[in-house]
Structure 1
Amino acid sequence: MTGPERRRLTKLASSRTAAHQHVVRAQIVLDAANGCSNAQIARRRGIGVDTARLWRGRYGDQGAAGLADRPRSGRPARFTPAQVAEVKALACQLPAETGIPLSRWSCGDLADQVVARGVAPAMSASTVRRILAADALKPWQHRSWLFIRDPAFAVKAGRVLDLYARVFDGVRLGDDEYVISSDEKTSIQARCRCHPTLPPGTSRTMRVEHEYDRGGALAYLAAYDVHHAQVIGLCSETTGIDPFTDLVDEVMTRQPCASARRVFWIVDNGSSHRGQAAIDRLTRRYPNTVMVHTPVHASWLNQVEIYFSILQRKVLAPNDFTDLDQVQDRLTAFEHRYNQTARPFNWKFTRADLQNLLARIQQHEEAEHETQHQHQPALPTAA
């Protein structure tokens, strides 16, 4: 036995995480290497003499590879390949297409349907799960998606991405120009739990009472300085043009935006700041501002949404507030805490990534159109 082999087997023999059978086999080989007979190994390890002889002999013939289990034929398959294929085909159909009043399949539902269709006389849910796992099929899961609806998606998204890179209309931004990402987080509720929340303890997570009394809801409007990671927010009873204007006043009357050459406001297409009317309204109030809209249904391009996700995880969940004043105080305190240590987000999605994304979408649409055209029945031609 070489030095590396002995070290590897010694480590395996003392492992607390490896499979027990592998640990015992390593111990047998090490005892044999130390001069123990098969009978001595059996007594020392509490195993049969034949077991000691088996693994000692396999290691002598094949080395470390001999300590692995040999392939087994296993129990004969109970279901034919055709039955397995029918299970997978059924899982790839929507339940509504088969007349079943379900939104998606579970393994138990599929097993019942297999029996009802006469595919097999009996089949368990665990068997269905193993069959589907072979092709990574998970019909009980779903993902949502959305087509690009904005005809100017590439242009609008490109302007936003350029601003994140400190570029506007092909020109680098100066030190006295700022980029603000703004939006509203609506319907933040104050849920007063019927019993106080219990802190975590030994072998116990934090416990939050399920029942609560509603204490109203408010909206939180935030303006995030993209390149300096500073947030200015305010709370309002509702959203709309007036609350958004109050937020703009709060930002534009403070330094450095008050004396900036230009301040770019990135917003989505919400009713508070939608369309050319909102652009004109902002410019009349503050001539050094430039409003830039994200494409329709593309709020993921707005960096303030990342801040809102942090706010949701760290401040608002679980929700346990006595009233709206406590909610507002918590939001304001977190905003101050965040501004003390925050750094700009490491935004990596660039114009090049956008072009690649749009090219993949175009290829997908062209392939889908070609497939539909191939399956379209041919029209009769005139003689």
Structure 2
Amino acid sequence: MGRKSIVINLSAEEREYLETQTRARTIQAQTVNRARILLLKAEGCPINEIADKVGINRKSVMLCLNKYAEGGVENALFDAPGRGRNAEITDDEKAWIINIACQKPIDFGYAAETWTYAKLTSHINKNAEAAGFTRLSTIHKSTVHSILDEAEIKPFRIKYYCENRDPDFESKMHNVLLVYKQLSMQFDKNGQFIPWEEDKQAIHMLSYDEKPGIQATATTSPDLLPDENHSTISRDYEYKRLGTVSLLAGIDLQTGEAIPLISETHNSKDSIEFLKVLDSKYPKGDKIRLVLDNLKVHTSEVTRKYLSTVPGRFEFVFTPKHGSWLNMIEGFFSKMTKQMLRGIRVKTKEELKERIYKYFDEINEEPVIFHWKYNLDDIDVSEEVIVDTLSAKKSS
């Protein structure tokens, strides 16, 4: 005689509980499958049909139904306590998820550079079973988010840093700071510059750099100024490009005077023109010491040829590569961008030049002397500053 078929009659509460289990994304896959078996059987589905729909063999379906017959819903869903229940998400499973998140999508054949939670979860769902983590095939992205958040992993963000590619970074930085330390000794306690002694050669110290690619842009319609109905300037989104200019500038670290030169180009000839401006500005016989970066235009053959015509006049103190923050004029450029260049609109490129020069005139009406304070305590002022005249050197 045939064995009596198991009949399942679920209460409304049991049915709701089982449906909740099938929608869960943080429990074992086998628990989800067992909940589906009970629901399908309650609807009257045959054993073979249940096995096909759930994707398991007939024997596993029968085992689940027998456990239900023996002890009800909870007994069918979960293994006996003596056998032990695994954690919802094991450490190995978490480690596998984190390992994937710490790689780029392109490493798995995708086009994206960084993960989104949706894309990462989709990849986990598709590859979990093959990796031996079957339950993760139904994990929800909110769970992935929680796992990565707990591990403090943010695979969707890129944090930029600057690789130190200058083997002489420390020595060059020390040299620049030595200049600033010795410069600070030339001011009294009231911040007044102490003039050079008559029997000593004067050294004028400047912080120098270029700001290329300043865009001259024009509005396509007049700006609408603030009125009783509008609290801000209103401007048409469209604009017209008029070209770019390059600003070469130096800050006299002893007087605070800002010295500009605007050019249509950005090359060695422009750098030489600025050196000529300085040469004509300061008394003959004095030294002009510049803190600047080691850009090619500062060490080119044409620059060295010019320096050879004014021997002993200029001394270069180079900042290390990726050490532009050591050059005090960078702060001036930042201030200039905020105060004058941001949002600027002009009718011609010449107007842009005139307004830049006007800005320098305004600054020089009340010059500000820049003082470097960071990390100077360990600098020995008795050391000698390593300068470079370049006149007898080959271009690096």
- Structure 2 length-normalised TM: 0.59
The residue matched to 2:283 in structure 1 has which SS?
helix
The residue matched to 1:300 in structure 2 has which SS?
helix
Aligned pairs for 1:1-383 (under 5 A) are: 83-118=93-128, 119-124=136-141, 128-166=144-182, 175=196, 176-199=202-225, 206-254=233-281, 257-258=282-283, 261-274=286-299, 278=303, 281-282=306-307, 284-285=309-310, 287-350=312-375
CA contact 2:319–2:326 (8 Å) conserved in 1: yes
The residue matched to 1:343 in structure 2 has which SS?
coil
The residue matched to 1:182 in structure 2 has which SS?
strand
Task: Name stretches of at least 5 consecutive residues in structure 2 with no aligned partner.
Answer: 1-86, 129-135, 185-193, 197-201, 380-396
Structure 1 residue 249, shift from structure 2 partner:
2.3
Equivalence for 1:71: none
Equivalence for 2:187: none
Structure 1 residue 165, shift from structure 2 partner:
1.4
Distance in 1 (CA, whole Å) between partners of 2:180 and 2:329 is 12
Structure 1 residue 189, shift from structure 2 partner:
1.4
RMSD (Å) for aligned C-alpha atoms: 3.3
Structure 1 residue 146, shift from structure 2 partner:
3.9
CA contact 2:269–2:303 (8 Å) conserved in 1: no
Structure 1 residue 180, shift from structure 2 partner:
0.8
CA contact 2:181–2:376 (8 Å) conserved in 1: no
Distance in 2 (CA, whole Å) between partners of 1:297 and 1:210 is 35
Question: Residues 214 and 148 from structure 1, CA distance in 2 versus in 1: closer, same or farther, beyond 3 angstroms?
Answer: same
Q: 1:54-80 deviations in whole A, cap 9, x for unaligned?
A: xxxxxxxxxxxxxxxxxxxxxxx9866
Distance in 1 (CA, whole Å) between partners of 2:222 and 2:237 is 11
CA contact 1:114–1:123 (8 Å) conserved in 2: no
Q: 1:174-227 deviations in whole A, cap 9, x for unaligned?
A: 744221111111111112132334456778655443322211111111011234
CA contact 2:319–2:327 (8 Å) conserved in 1: yes
Structure 1 residue 120, shift from structure 2 partner:
4.2
Question: Residues 192 and 78 from structure 1, CA distance in 2 versus in 1: closer, same or farther, beyond 3 angstroms?
Answer: farther
Distance in 1 (CA, whole Å) between partners of 2:261 and 2:329 is 14
CA contact 1:177–1:260 (8 Å) conserved in 2: no
Larger radius of gyration: 2
Distance in 2 (CA, whole Å) between partners of 1:150 and 1:275 is 19
- Structure 1 length-normalised TM: 0.60
The residue matched to 2:138 in structure 1 has which SS?
coil
Question: Residues 294 and 192 from structure 1, CA distance in 2 versus in 1: closer, same or farther, beyond 3 angstroms?
Answer: same
CA contact 2:209–2:250 (8 Å) conserved in 1: yes
Question: Residues 133 and 167 from structure 1, CA distance in 2 versus in 1: closer, same or farther, beyond 3 angstroms?
Answer: same
Q: 1:337-369 deviations in whole A, cap 9, x for unaligned?
A: 223345334533436789xxxxxxxxxxxxxxx
Distance in 2 (CA, whole Å) between partners of 1:331 and 1:84 is 57
Q: 1:89-127 deviations in whole A, cap 9, x for unaligned?
A: 332222222222211122333233333334241524x55
Amino acid at match of 2:345: D
Distance in 1 (CA, whole Å) between partners of 2:298 and 2:317 is 10
Q: Give % identity.
A: 26
Structure 1 residue 82, shift from structure 2 partner:
5.3
Amino acid at match of 2:206: I
CA contact 2:272–2:303 (8 Å) conserved in 1: no
CA contact 2:205–2:253 (8 Å) conserved in 1: yes
Distance in 1 (CA, whole Å) between partners of 2:233 and 2:91 is 49
Distance in 2 (CA, whole Å) between partners of 1:213 and 1:152 is 44
Q: Which has the higher contact order (CA 8 A, sep 6+)?
A: 2
The residue matched to 1:215 in structure 2 has which SS?
strand
Question: Residues 200 and 83 from structure 1, CA distance in 2 versus in 1: closer, same or farther, beyond 3 angstroms?
Answer: farther
Structure 1 residue 232, shift from structure 2 partner:
0.5
Q: 1:114-157 deviations in whole A, cap 9, x for unaligned?
A: 33334241524x55444433343322222333443334333322
Distance in 1 (CA, whole Å) between partners of 2:333 and 2:222 is 26
